[in-house]
Amino acid sequence: MPEITGKLLADLHPNGTVRMVFIAHTGTGNEAPLTAKNLDAAENDFVKTCGLTPERASALRTELDRNKVVSAETSVDASVAVMFRYARP
């Protein structure tokens, strides 16, 4: 699968949920967020969905907990990038 480069953004809401958005460098502006129910689930998604190493995911989780927002340059498979897109009618 070809990899798509872009920026992963995540923010921590007051109720503990984490919203993640992947913005591809060649994107069209129709990004859709994925929501994790807590920081543990978000860290797991960073590894399994976004392909980050466990060490990088842990560092992002720590930064997210501290700053309430985080961004990271990454690349994901095309099949994963589709999950971050709104479906066209």
Q: Which domain holds residue 53?
A: 3-83
Total number of domains in the chain: 1
In a domain, residue 88? The reply is no
Q: Are strands 34-36 and 18-24 parallel, antiparallel or unpaired?
A: antiparallel
Distance CA 85, CA 44 (A): 20
- Angle (CA) 89-42-6 rounded to 5° is 60
- Residue-wise pLDDT tens digits, 7-51: 999 999 999 999 999 888 876 677 889 999 999 999 999 999 888
Q: Is residue 76 part of a domain?
A: yes
pLDDT tens digit sequence for 40-80: 999 999 999 888 999 999 999 999 999 999 999 998 888 88
Are 56 and 62 a contacting pair, CB within 8 Å?
A: no
Is there a domain that residue 58 lies in?
Answer: yes
First to last CA, the chain: 25
